[in-house]
Amino acid sequence: MDINRQYMQRCLDLAQQGAGSVSPNPMVGAVIVHNHCIIGEGYTSPYGGPHAEVNAVRAVLQKYGDQAGELWGESTFYVSLEPCAHFGKTPPCADMIASLKPKKVFVACLDPFAQVNGKGIGILKDAGIDVEVGLLEKEAMWVNRRFFTRIGQHRPYVILKWAQSADGFIGQADRQVGISNAASLQLVHRWRAEEDAILVGTKTALIDNPRLTVRYWKGANPRRVLIDRDLVVPPDAKIFDDQAETIVFNAKKTDWQGHIKHIELENYGLYLPQTVLYQLYLMDVQSIIIEGGAATLQMFIDAGLWDEARVFQAEKTLHMGIAAPRLNGHVLEKRLISSDLLTIFVK
Annotated catalytic residue, options 53, 82, 195, 291: 53
Closest CA to 201 of 235, 244, 239, 253: 239
Is 74 tagged catalytic?
A: no
Active site residues: 53
